[in-house]
Amino acid sequence: MNLGPAVVYAPMNEYVYVERREGGRWQDRHPWFAVDGLGISFPVDVGDTLSGFSMNFAYVDRRPGVYRFVFEVAFDSLGRRLVPEEQRVSPPFELTP
């Protein structure tokens, strides 16, 4: 959800990634969700939420562990100034067997 004071932009391609926590750091970034359309990016207005259809996590990884989603959103429509990472990641979650 865009909780900020201004419109942000997501790229018109892969904009959600999943990362695995291993060895004390986040790694193995894999695409999770993409959109296809016209233009370089699409706006996410203040208060708007990006959502997608449910997917089987095995698409990305089958290993139990701690994961998070990372959203690629920027302050500008060309994606040159990314929103700080701590504002565009999900809380960590655990995948169990």
CB 10 within 8 A of CB 41: yes
Residue 24 is predicted with a pLDDT of: 94
With cut-offs at 50, 70 and 90, classify the pLDDT of residue 13: confident
Range of the domain at 88: 8-95
Residue 2: inside a domain, yes or no? no
Q: Which residues, at least 6 apart from 27, have a Cβ–Cβ distance to it below 8 Å?
A: 19, 20, 21
Domains contained in the chain, number: 1
49 falls within a domain: yes
pLDDT tens per residue across span 15-39: 888 999 999 999 988 888 777 878 8
Q: Which of 66, 38, 67, 31 is nearest to 52 (CA)?
A: 31
The letter for the amino acid at 84 is P
What pLDDT, on a 0 to 100 scale, did the predictor assign at position 82? 95
Q: Is residue 1 part of a domain?
A: no
